[in-house]
Structure 1
Amino acid sequence: MILRDFLTDTARALAFLSRLPVPSRFFEGHDGTLSRTVRAFPLAGALIALPPAATLAAALLLNATPLLAAFLSIAVLLAITGALHEDGLSDTADGLGGGGDRARALAIMKDSRIGSYGAVTIVVAIGMRAAAIAELASALPPVATATCLLATAATSRALMVWHWSALPPARADGIAASAGLPEPASRHMALMSGLLLALVFLLPASSLLATVVALLAAALSASAFTAHVRRRLGGHTGDTIGACQQVTEIAALAALAMAA
């Protein structure tokens, strides 16, 4: 029963975090909240990263340049997720960068139009990810580079759960508020499973030092981002949760690239 419940949560997490088809039976009787489902976010993140990681390894083995292979893997990831987290990062950048008070920032973030802060942030974010992955591909074998993507995907999904639980909802009627706050036990499981998956994937692929540096970079970036959101907005939104995933994944990849 426990395993079946966790597999159900994993299927629901995949449906929430990606465009992958999930059978409707996993949602029978479900009220739509994610309070327990978040415990499966790290595993779902690793599963979502499997096709991009396989694309990266295959492209490198076929003698593609590291930068081309990196962009191909990112393109596959964006197709799978529908740029869900990138959209959150863009909206967050527009809201926090646009100036004004809390109400003004939240209003900007709710606007579906992309502003200059959001556009520039997306370009920089994708460019930094591609550059970091390419640097890893130049230092590590193709399969090892691919497993680094699985590790950072799991880690960043765990830390987005932490961000979610560390702040109250900024809007009482927002999507994040309707999804519910992560249950403490589910938050703990997400953090522990994210750490375990990171160690399983990173230690065989890279050095202990690089692994520690990457995890510290991800944790510190999550803490700094969450503190900034608390000061500016007083709480989380669906956009800041997605932005936290992006910030921590980029930090982990950049740290790995520099320490590998």
Structure 2
Amino acid sequence: MLSRQYLQREWQVFLLAVGFLTRIPIPADPDFSEEKLNGASRYFPAVGLLVACAAALVFVAAVAIFNNALIAVLLSMTSSILLTGAFHEDGFADSCDGFGGGWRAEDVLRIMKDSRIGSYGTVALVLVLGLKAAALSAMPSTGLVVSALLWAHIVSRWLATSYLLDLNYVRGEGKSKPLATTMPLSHWLWSGLPVLILFIFTDAPALLPLCLVLLAFRFAFAAYLRRRIGGYTGDALGAAQQVVEIIIYLSFLA
């Protein structure tokens, strides 16, 4: 049986993950340590579950009030962006600016660290938000949207943390630095518990094409990051999360 001390410690680690990925205020940890901070990334999918639940609740309420799918989707997206402080969207935009405007690895990293958004990031951000809104509002039922939100927010964060398994962190500073730069395989597998729960309540065979696409993207993006910058950055993890979110929404329409 798990001890009370262990459960309390894991709760504190979970709160660190919540504080890192969202704007939710968390209480100060009296026993804060670097070890706890490094372990917080294993709770990123669980934080994704929180974000998904909030977005789904707003969507369901907005549908009931306005009876308009697009309005409900936009309000749901607004709630998730406010909740996370556009954390992943910011990383996606910075990555697009860096990879779009830089040729050498050092140029890509320098552009990523610039807090200003450029033309590549602006266009990419508009497109990714538009794709999300279009895909979700085109889904034929409220239940399908809720399911898509749960899958997208949880799985995208789980996949993004997988880059900590086999890629080197290539930048030691910046606003998007991850909590941990490496993750043991056992921690990553354990962090996928929310994903396992999703599979239990979903028709698994129907998800096989999606899983294959996500697997292909995961390794293709890893190869791209190795070739362009020699590893990953926090912004690159944000970009991966956003792309996976889009892939999942589109797969629910296919």
Length-normalised TM-score, structure 2: 0.89
Would you say 1:24 and 2:28 are equivalent positions? yes
Alignment counterpart, residue 70 of structure 1, candidates 69, 73, 87: 73
Q: How far is the alpha carbon of 1:86 from its aligned partner?
A: 0.4
Amino acid at match of 1:155: V
Q: Distance in 2 between matches of 1:15 and 1:177?
A: 13
Q: Distance in 2 between matches of 1:199 and 1:162?
A: 19
Q: How far is the alpha carbon of 1:72 from its aligned partner?
A: 1.0
User: Would you say the 8 A contact 1:45–1:153 is kept in 2?
Assistant: yes
SS in 2 for 1:176: coil
1:190-236 superposed Cα distances (whole Å, 9 cap, x missing partner): 2x3253133245x1xxx545433333333332222222111111111
Would you say 1:89 and 2:99 are equivalent positions? no
Q: How far is the alpha carbon of 1:178 from its aligned partner?
A: 7.0
What stretches of structure 2 of length at least 5 have no aligned partner?
A: none
Deviation larger for 122-131 or 169-178: 169-178
User: Would you say the 8 A contact 2:73–2:136 is kept in 1?
Assistant: yes
SS in 2 for 1:62: helix
Q: How far is the alpha carbon of 1:177 from its aligned partner?
A: 6.9
Q: How far is the alpha carbon of 1:188 from its aligned partner?
A: 2.1
SS in 2 for 1:14: helix
1:78-123 superposed Cα distances (whole Å, 9 cap, x missing partner): 1000000000000000111113211111111111111111001100
1:182 is aligned to: 183
User: Would you say the 8 A contact 1:215–1:252 is kept in 2?
Assistant: no
User: Would you say the 8 A contact 2:40–2:179 is kept in 1?
Assistant: no
Amino acid at match of 1:232: R
Q: How far is the alpha carbon of 1:62 from its aligned partner?
A: 3.0
User: Would you say the 8 A contact 1:90–1:114 is kept in 2?
Assistant: yes
Would you say 1:216 and 2:216 are equivalent positions? no
Query: Percent of aligned pairs with the same residue?
Result: 33
2:240 is aligned to: 244
Deviation larger for 173-182 or 218-227: 173-182
Q: How far is the alpha carbon of 1:44 from its aligned partner?
A: 1.2
User: Would you say the 8 A contact 2:170–2:229 is kept in 1?
Assistant: yes
Two-structure CA RMSD over aligned residues (Å): 2.2
Alignment counterpart, residue 228 of structure 1, candidates 221, 224, 230: 224
Write the mapping of 1:82-161 to structure 2, written as runs, cut at 5 A: 82-136=85-139, 138=140, 140=141, 142-161=142-161
C-alpha distance 13-177 of structure 1, shift in aligned 2 (>3 A): closer
Deviation larger for 66-75 or 163-172: 163-172
User: Would you say the 8 A contact 2:152–2:245 is kept in 1?
Assistant: yes
1:20-67 superposed Cα distances (whole Å, 9 cap, x missing partner): 111113x63222764322221111111122111111112223343222
Amino acid at match of 1:211: L
Q: Distance in 2 between matches of 1:232 and 1:101?
A: 7
Length-normalised TM-score, structure 1: 0.87
Deviation larger for 217-226 or 249-258: 217-226
